[in-house]
Amino acid sequence: MSKAKQGDQVKIHYTGYRKDQTVFDSTTAREPLTLEVGSEVLIQGLEDAIIGMSPGDRKRISVDPSDAYGDYDDELVFEVNRAEVFGNLEVKEGQIIELPNDEVGVLLLKVLKVNDKNVLLDGNHELAGQTLLFDLELIDIVA
């Protein structure tokens, strides 16, 4: 039976869990995800885990922050002047702000705190700094 390798088109199902076992993403209720192994569609730790699997194989893996969404970076938390940046727009704690960015296309920032003068923003991915668990199943190697 063939085993998945770099460059193969594969179909997978996965369910991602935080350490407390809450699910943050899953493909099991929809069509399997089709991707080329090594194309960086998924986080590195998940793509690496596909290599060597055969169709029908299942496994649970743990992925460190360095192979997922990186470590939490305090430098990505910053304050801006509310009036200068947002004008009269309503800004609420917990809101996700999308800002155009030349390097990544769109930068997602979470609003942590709002007062009359300033807004505290966080540019970290919501899963940054977390070790993640995945249930992974290789459905098929397409090519």
- The Cα angle at residue 82 between residues 79 and 86, in degrees rounded to 5: 115
Confidence of residue 13 (pLDDT cuts 50, 70, 90): very high
Query: What tokens appear for 126 in the block?
Result: 């919501």
Taken in order of first residue, the domains within the chain and their CATH numbers are: 9-69+127-141 (3.10.50.40), 74-122 (2.40.10.330)
Residue 56: name the closest of 113, 4, 125 by CA: 4
- The pLDDT of 9-35, averaged and rounded, is 97
Residue 10: name the closest of 45, 49, 63 by CA: 49
- pLDDT tens sequence across 38-59: 999 999 999 999 999 999 999 9
pLDDT at residue 71 greater than cutoff 90: yes
pLDDT at residue 107 greater than cutoff 90: no
Beta strands in the chain, from DSSP E residues, in sequence order: 9-17, 23-26, 33-36, 58-63, 77-81, 96-101, 105-114, 118-122, 132-141
Scanning the structure block, which residue is given the tokens 């009359």?
116
Question: What pLDDT score does 105 carry?
Answer: 84
Confidence of residue 106 (pLDDT cuts 50, 70, 90): confident
Q: What is the mean pLDDT of the chain?
A: 95
R_g (Cα) of the chain, nearest Å? 19
pLDDT at residue 120 greater than cutoff 90: yes
Question: How many other CB atoms sit within 10 Å of the CB of residue 47?
Answer: 21
Confidence of residue 1 (pLDDT cuts 50, 70, 90): confident
Least confident of 1-5, 51-55, 133-137: 1-5
Residue 12: name the closest of 46, 61, 63, 62 by CA: 46
Phi, psi at 12, each rounded to 5°: -135, 160
Question: What pLDDT score does 104 carry?
Answer: 77
- The pLDDT of 71-98, averaged and rounded, is 94
Q: Dihedral of CA 83/86/87/90: which sign?
A: negative
Check residues 100 and 118 and name the one with the higher pLDDT.
Answer: 118
Enter the DSSP assignment of 39: S
Question: What pLDDT score does 114 carry?
Answer: 96
